[in-house]
Amino acid sequence: MCGFGACSKVVDRRAIRIKLGLTGERLSAQNPPNVNVEGDYMATKKDSGSKGGGKGLAAEVQPSADLAAIVGSKPIPRSEVTKKVWDYIKANGLQDQTNKRMINADDNLKKIFNGKKQVSMFEMTALVNKHLS
């Protein structure tokens, strides 16, 4: 008995499994096969195959000339920019020793940090983002 009016679309899953030869594979309501009510295969979504681009952290961005001195001039994903800035900070010992949340700027970083001698790591990400397009 069906109380939601969907009885006309109820499919005998055993019949579909036998028709497709899926006797050993478990089917459930959460994991139905790509088969319509009549038991025919349905089209599945294919990947577009496009490379690069992306959104959010995966989107490639172009660093400004000031930031290019640290991360390079080629377009790279935002996540790589952050990684390269941190690599630069650690390689040059620019993280404050008493308060690790603070970054001490050298000549290259002062251009990015709007002339500030020291910024917090949270402020740093906002300032770096202003140099990306």
Residues 40 and 68 in one domain: no
Q: pLDDT over 70 for what percent of the chain?
A: 62
Confidence bin at 5 (pLDDT 50/70/90): low
pTM over 0.95: no
Residues 103 and 71 in one domain: yes
27 inside domain = yes
Residues 112 and 64 in one domain: yes
Read off the amino acid at residue 62: Q
Q: What is the pLDDT of residues 7-58, one digit of tens each?
A: 545 566 677 767 776 666 555 555 565 656 555 655 555 555 445 567 777 8
